[in-house]
């Protein structure tokens, strides 16, 4: 016996998520380049795929958004990001990226 309420709920969810034009959530990855000890030479690069293709990025707790995906000339440290899909309010991801110092060889 089929429960039609479940079927109708499933159809509604499919319609709500896809027929109205709401994109599936995105994925975001980060890569870092180490910094020279005591200097601001580190770099963080973000790669965002999927979703609507239109994103806002909030860096280190800022309330001002940007679309910038490369952050260069930073010292070693922990940096926070929040990425939001501008066309899907349900897609919002927060994460941290860590810039380390290059290992200095001992002589």
Task: Give the per-residue pLDDT at 94.
Answer: 96
Q: In what order do the strands lie in the sheet with 26-33?
A: 26-33, 42-50, 70-74
Query: What pLDDT sits at residue 21?
Result: 56
Residue 15: its pLDDT value, please? 41
Give Cβ neighbours of residue 47 (< 8 Å, ≥ 6 apart).
Answer: 28, 29, 30, 31, 69
pLDDT of amino acid 104: 72
pTM: 0.74
Q: What is the reported pLDDT for 89?
A: 86
pLDDT over 50 at 8, yes or no: no
Torsion angle of alpha carbons 27, 61, 54, 13, nearest 10°? 60
Higher pLDDT, 18 or 36: 36
């Amino acid at each position: 016996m089929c429960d039609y309420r479940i079927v109708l709920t499933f159809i509604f969810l499919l319609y709500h998520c896809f027929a109205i034009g709401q994109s599936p959530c995105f994925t975001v990855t980060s890569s870092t380049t180490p910094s020279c000890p005591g200097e601001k030479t580190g770099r963080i690069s973000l790669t965002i795929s999927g979703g609507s293709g239109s994103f806002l990025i909030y860096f280190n707790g800022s309330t001002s958004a940007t679309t910038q995906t490369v952050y260069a000339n930073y010292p070693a440290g922990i940096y926070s990001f929040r990425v939001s899909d501008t066309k899907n309010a349900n897609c919002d991801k927060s994460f941290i990226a860590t810039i380390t110092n290059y290992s200095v060889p001992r002589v």
